[in-house]
Structure 1
């Protein structure tokens, strides 16, 4: 340890460059991690907010909420602690009085019953109780839609009034609006259908145990999915995570290679020094420990600076950017980066053990 620290103090520029490389790689890895997590939350946030156990969809929907087609009567075929009918709509919203073509905002909309247990908590205003009322998330407020505003969604001629605001919420990356099932039907089908045959897309189930959920399905048209399995099937969710995580893993490999090359080259430059040390009776083990300690210190310093830069960047990023840091991910990736930095230093061990003291000092 002492030997490694003294050398780093003496060759400041050389080791500053190594730390700089680690900082850049760590910074990119942490930023990609935040972006991956932010995009994932943008896709699934509305589903997570349900705090649900399972979801019931039509059997032929392939776990797609939008493709599922059920009716209110299907609620009677589901046995669970809590079961909530749900309708889903995707479209565009624009504020009344603004340019229709320029100011449209893509949104997702969930239709639920007035007393539904899966409605998000409000931070301002009230829940919908009359026709033509909606509640919007904070991320729509950030785009200029305010409490009391009238908006139009899709091809519906009727104006909808914003009566409540929830904290930031999204589904499939776009802001998530809630309204009544009747209003959802009018949006999606152009009319309100009352009674047991009223259409819905799914049934959200909340139960203490998944096994407690039973389907009394005589014609096998219902399918029960655990909520995590449903999330994995959300459009683009798995593919997006796989792509960004693969980039992060490649960065780990690149880090090991870069550190390995740096330390190896510097080890070759110190061959004569190692020869003198061996001639003085200093063991291979002591030299190897110094190299490993040195790379560990380089890794820790580089990763810590990378973490600080990432946290500072997070402060200045616009709220519209899907970026969310996860403390556990930061910790895990920091540890992995330090480990791969040390592994990079391990590549030089063979060179040290093969140094001949006589040849190294010109004997």
Structure 2
């Protein structure tokens, strides 16, 4: 530790430049990671926060909720095997809303639920929708940014039906649109289910074990039972969006490893004679290697602390203008991975330090 700190003090400018590069790389990694998490939440928080283990969808729907159509008969067949409290239907529909006395339009998603079952969201303001009224909805509080308030009347453009916002929820979005929860009477009113085929749904949420889910597929024809993660992958654009961001993050870590490897290797080459002299007077390779690792770890930790502060500072400045979510657990995971990448980047320098020949180095120094 003594040698590592002394060297950092002696070559301040050199290590400040390396630290600055490490701060920028770590900051970019953390920001893109928070952006990926924020976009995932903005795209699918309604599914992520759902209190269900599995979703039943139509067999030929490619595990996409918007392509699945299940009838009341399907629901009856499913709850015969699972029990009424373990299965509840879910209707999903993208829509465009207007507010009464306003021409501005807002994209949203309708979720039809049983308010007394597992899919009922937590109300953070106002009250839960009634089971008997067809004109009440719960809105995600992100709609407040569009000046929607409790008691506002909204109109579904597709059906022309009017609904009243009686409460607000939090963390309920689907396909980058706020979710409005309604009961089955409201769902029936916007689909005119008296046309003859009866009411339909897009999925049935299950509270079940994996064995029960597998058995249900064998017992009920023409259905698939998918996990919530599979349902997320079926949201249009979710997989492509997350795949692109994950590829960027992976490449950033690879670039970080190469950049740090080059920096520390060049510095090590410049100090070969000094390392050789230290070996000649009795310094062990393990001692020199330990000091090199301590240098890398110290620079990495300081750079991470600065980059984490910068990331949260920028996140506070941008507010809700872009979706950004960086939880403490995600920060710790990213920081641990960055430290690991830093150590990987120092391996080449570590190898050169261990292989230094003292006599050869002294000869070059002379």
> Is TM > 0.5 for Structure 1 vs Structure 2?
yes
What is the CA RMSD across the aligned residues, in angstroms?
2.3
Name the CA shift for 1:77/1:265 in 2 (closer, same or farther; >3 Å).
same
Aligned length in residues: 356
Instruction: Please give the alpha-carbon distance, in whole angstroms, between the structure 2 residues aligned to 1:193 and 1:321.
Output: 42
The answer on 1:361 being equivalent to 2:365 is yes
The answer on 1:262 being equivalent to 2:263 is yes
Task: Please tell me whether the aligned partners of residues 96 and 152 of structure 1 are also in contact (alpha carbons under 8 angstroms).
Answer: yes
Instruction: Please give the alpha-carbon distance, in whole angstroms, between the structure 2 residues aligned to 1:279 and 1:113.
Output: 79
**Aligned residue in 1 for 2:315:** 314
Task: Please tell me whether the aligned partners of residues 72 and 196 of structure 1 are also in contact (alpha carbons under 8 angstroms).
Answer: no
Give the stretch that moved more between structures: 141-150 or 287-296.
Answer: 287-296
**Aligned residue in 1 for 2:120:** 119
**Aligned residue in 2 for 1:238:** 239
Partner SS state of residue 286, structure 1: helix
Partner SS state of residue 66, structure 1: helix
Give the structure with the higher percent helix.
Answer: 2
Instruction: Please give the alpha-carbon distance, in whole angstroms, between the structure 2 residues aligned to 1:264 and 1:270.
Output: 10
Cα deviation, 1:73-127, whole Å, max 9, x if unaligned, reads: 22210122421122111011222222x3xx3221111112353431112122223
The answer on 1:93 being equivalent to 2:94 is no
Cα deviation, 1:250-300, whole Å, max 9, x if unaligned, reads: 111111111111112222222332233233333333222222221111111
Deviation at 1:236, TM superposition (A): 2.4
Task: Please tell me whether the aligned partners of residues 56 and 224 of structure 1 are also in contact (alpha carbons under 8 angstroms).
Answer: yes
Deviation at 1:17, TM superposition (A): 0.9
Question: Structure 2-normalised TM-score?
Answer: 0.90
Deviation at 1:141, TM superposition (A): 1.6
User: Of residues 175, 179, 188 in structure 1, which corresponds to 2:182?
Assistant: 179
Task: Please tell me whether the aligned partners of residues 95 and 158 of structure 2 are also in contact (alpha carbons under 8 angstroms).
Answer: no
**Aligned residue in 2 for 1:156:** 159
**Aligned residue in 1 for 2:25:** 25
**Aligned residue in 2 for 1:280:** 281
Instruction: Please give the alpha-carbon distance, in whole angstroms, between the structure 2 residues aligned to 1:328 and 1:26.
Output: 16
Instruction: Please give the alpha-carbon distance, in whole angstroms, between the structure 1 residues aligned to 2:193 and 2:185.
Output: 6
Task: Please tell me whether the aligned partners of residues 77 and 220 of structure 2 are also in contact (alpha carbons under 8 angstroms).
Answer: no
Partner SS state of residue 27, structure 2: helix
Partner SS state of residue 105, structure 1: strand
Question: Structure 1-normalised TM-score?
Answer: 0.90
Task: Please tell me whether the aligned partners of residues 43 and 171 of structure 1 are also in contact (alpha carbons under 8 angstroms).
Answer: yes
Unaligned segments of structure 1, at least 5 residues: none
Unaligned segments of structure 2, at least 5 residues: none
**Aligned residue in 2 for 1:62:** 62
Deviation at 1:150, TM superposition (A): 1.1
The answer on 1:166 being equivalent to 2:169 is yes
